[in-house]
Structure 1
């Protein structure tokens, strides 16, 4: 589906993200135009392709699927004419197979058996598209596997000739989405997450982000982090300000003595992000129990990262001291330029990783 977003602000409701997969040319200005605001009114954190900037490539949308906890897949008559819909569907299947995503199939005025068995125009259109991409057999095989798997999940069916109208059907979609969401608990007191490589993620909620308690300046929402296999809240800078200041600390007792670690901020900048041509200052300080310390500063321009997915902003490296030394690291990213107003940065957290 092509991206048609015109704002730098992500969805306002908090909670795990719900990705809507649908044929835009067919449903964007009809069924989905009614479904989306009703889901938002129910405080569901909806993501559809217009929440990306015009010109965004498909890879960005696939990352949004990986960050979601629920996917609503709307099968319609023209669905299989879109390779983007099918690429998204293949990613949805992969995430479901890995246990990170729940899926609600919706059969919109289309018999479920037609989708499952690839019958009629729905199936013929898919076979025509498959022939068009005959030179990409791995890609089309993933489409076929997804079309065999996802429609077998218990879903919701709106008959073209049934008694249920679209508004009643939308209410049932909202109820089913809320039912799944109620089974997904987002931690109110986020933990520092670890992974099998010996790295740690300090989520944005554990950081001190200047003015992040002001909803007119920062917005909080939730995504799923596949690396750490955990829901995590992210902070999005909205409107425009002159200051960014993000600080945090971490006790080294959890680290392997003598091993070198790197500290990176995990951020994303929207395509419409402004004010990042001037360099931000990044600081890393190691403070020992005896108050001795070492500090490293660097300056970096974030403008080159605009439009990318999550990027690592490298702060510095340090060697973990002996556990008995009871040391702590402190890190920060800040900039204040009153002539260079900023917007569009999203903060996921800070990662502390062993240097390979």
Structure 2
């Protein structure tokens, strides 16, 4: 029997299996206001045979946005919209966490009232673009510009915004939140030496580069409880100009701090392209030594690879991304060893029901 389909425990949450729907930006929120809608509720409900669903990355404030049509969870209308989603998901037995993000320098003045985006340091990311669409959903990829360096007041406010949005997410019916600390966004920018050139308490040493992340974790935990907090990190991903020679030991140190705080889980975002770096087993062993709570891994996993990682004890839950887009009944298909449908990559971002809620289950 595959462990993937066994029930699992995530702190106080009983999960119906070890399959996680990974957070995936789909850019379908209603405008104006980046409000979750009924179409999004249908989309997530269709995939709620997973044990845990992690929502698409969700803004903590107006200036946290870097792509068109991504939802927020700080305004009343957004919270009301998410209530429809979480109710639909829970009706099918899945738990659901809200992934909270601030994109930092991976943004554009169009999302900043004409101002520069903010980041740890005024360093423009090389070869990095964001998706900007008009009201009709016609979009283009646009280069990021040089950001402005955050002040202490900026840092304090963003930490507050993470905590406030976590509180609103729980009000919206989420079982907890995942703090997005990977893939080149704001928290990741603080962690890495190539994007963080600060000379104050938030830059330089490993301890200082970890400070912002840990202050966010502490503020969110104080608001909703550490047992409702997960963190996503990306130790081996270097796109968005994020190649830092010290990131792996920095993340291993973070894992010790997370265990001391007894957070719910650590979610590793692993590269999912053809020639992606192989994650050394030595890293997985060291990480497990430092962090004994739930570990989630995501990154082009097949059922076979998932079983191998679970059997070795390097992870407790396995997240699937793109396979869940085209296969709303992914859990059933894997469990019954049925063929998976291929996704239409042209419909990933923006648009309507096509390529979103119209993928059919195999047995209907």
Alignment TM-score, normalising by the size of structure 1: 0.28
Larger radius of gyration: 1
Q: Give the structure with the higher percent helix.
A: 2
Q: Give the structure with the higher percent strand.
A: 1
Alignment TM-score, normalising by the size of structure 2: 0.27
